[in-house]
Amino acid sequence: MFTIEVFGTWFAVFLTLAIFSYLYDDNPFYKAAEYIFVGVSAGYWTVTFFWTQVQPNLFGRLWPSLETVNADSIFIKIWYGIYNIFGIFLTGIFPKGGIVGHPEIRFIYIIPLILGIFMLLRLVPSVGWLARWALAYIVGMAAGLRFYGFLNSDIMNQIKATVVDFSGSWVSILNGVIIIIGTLTGLLYFFFSREQTGVLGKLSKVGIYFLMISFGASFGFAVMGRISLLIGRFNDLIEFSSSSHNYATFWLLAIMIIVLGAWAFQKKSESGEEVTN
Amino acid sequence: MKQFLNIIIKLGSIDRRYIFILVGLSVLIPLIRPIDIPIRATSQSQDVFNALDALTPNSKVLVSFEYGPSTKPEIHPMSMGILRKLFSDGHKVYATALWPDGIFMSVEALNQTEEEFSLEYGVDYVNLGFRPGNEAVVKGVAADIRTLYTSDTRGNHIDDISMMDGINNINDFDFVFSLSAGYPGTKEWVQYACDPHDIPMSTGCTSIQVTEVLPYVEAGQVKGILAGMPGAAEFEKLVNIPGEATGMMAAQSFAHLVIVAFIIFGNITYFLKRRSDKKNLGEK
CB A71 within 8 A of CB A97: no
Q: State the amino acid at position B126 in one-letter form.
A: V
Q: Are B131 and B199 in the same domain?
A: yes
Helix A4-20 / helix A198-239 crossing angle, nearest 10 deg: 140
**CB burial of residue B155 (10 Å; 0-12, 13-18, 19+):** exposed
Cα four-point dihedral sign A239, A240, A246, A249: negative
Minimal Cβ distance to B208: which of A52, A160, A222: A222
- Say what the pLDDT of residue B134 is: 87
B76 and B206 belong to one structural domain:
yes
How many angstroms separate the CA atoms of A152 and A164, rounded? 20
Beta bridge partners of B202: B177
Distance (Å) of CA B105 to CA A150, B69, B82: 29, 8, 14
Please report whether residue B103 resides in a domain. Answer: yes
Q: Write down the pLDDT at residue B278.
A: 86
Q: Does any domain span residue B91?
A: yes
In a domain, B112, yes or no: yes
Cβ contact, residue pair B32, A238, below 8 Å? yes
The answer to whether the bond into A112 is cis (omega within 30° of 0) is no
Asked if A149 contacts B135 with a C-beta cutoff of 8 angstroms, the reply is yes
- Chain A interface mutation, best of B138, B154, B208, B214, highest count of A Cβ atoms under 10 Å: B208
Query: Which pLDDT score, from 0 to 100, does residue B241 have?
Result: 87
Give a yes or no: residue B195 inside a domain: yes
Looking at the structure, tell me whether residues B120 and B160 fall in a common domain.
yes
Q: Quick check: A231 contacting B, CB < 8 Å?
A: yes
Q: Does one domain contain both B174 and B202?
A: yes
pLDDT for the residue numbered B187: 94
**Whole domain around residue B56: which residue ranges?**
43-242
For chain B, what is the domain count?
A: 2
CATH of residue B67's domain is 3.40.50.10160
Q: Are residues B88 and B139 in the same domain?
A: yes
**Residue B26 counted as domain residue:** yes
Same domain for B171 and B213, yes or no, is yes
Question: Could you tell me if residue B106 is inside a domain?
Answer: yes
Same domain, B92 and B200: yes
Distance from C-alpha of A27 to C-alpha of A227, rounded to nearest angstrom:
23
pLDDT at A125: 92
Instruction: Point out the residue among B133, B190, B207 whose CB comes nearest to the CB of A221.
Output: B207
Same domain assignment for residues B23 and B53: no
User: Which of A231, A234, A235, A237 is the best residue to mutate to test the B interface, defined by the most B CB atoms within 10 Å of its own CB?
Assistant: A231
Structure confidence at residue A277 (pLDDT) = 63
Is B248 inside any structural domain?
no
Find all residues with CB under 8 Å of A107, minimum gap 6, and list them. A62
Q: Is B189 domain-assigned? A: yes
Write the single-letter amino acid at B161. Answer: I
pLDDT at A275: 67
Q: pLDDT tens track of chain B, all 284 residues? A: 778 888 888 888 888 889 999 999 999 999 998 888 889 999 999 999 999 999 999 999 999 999 998 899 999 999 999 999 999 999 999 999 999 989 999 999 999 999 999 999 999 999 999 998 888 899 999 999 998 888 899 989 898 999 999 999 999 999 999 999 999 999 999 999 999 999 999 999 999 999 999 999 999 999 999 999 999 999 999 999 888 898 899 999 999 999 999 999 999 999 998 988 888 887 76
Domain shared by B279 and B220, yes or no: no
User: Is A149 within 8 Å of B74 when comparing Cβ atoms?
Assistant: no
Contact A48 B255 (CB under 8 A): no
Are B212 and B260 within one domain? no
B80 and B185, same domain (yes or no): yes
Geometric angle at alpha carbon A19, from A17 and A24, rounded to 5°: 85
Q: Is A224 on the interface with B (CB under 8 A)?
A: yes
Is there a contact between A33 and A22 (Cβ–Cβ < 8 Å)? no
Cross-chain CB nearest to A228 (options B101, B196, B228): B228
Beta strand ranges found along B181-218 (DSSP E): 201-205
Q: Cα distance from B282 to chain A (closest Cα, Å)?
A: 33
Q: Give average pLDDT by consecutive 10-residue segment, chain A, 277 residues.
A: 85 95 92 96 91 90 90 90 92 91 90 94 93 94 87 89 85 90 92 88 94 93 93 94 92 95 89 71
Could you say which residues from 71 to 110 on chain A have a Cβ atom under 8 Å away from some Cβ of chain B? 100-102
Residues B121 and B158 in one domain: yes
One-letter amino acid at B89 equals D
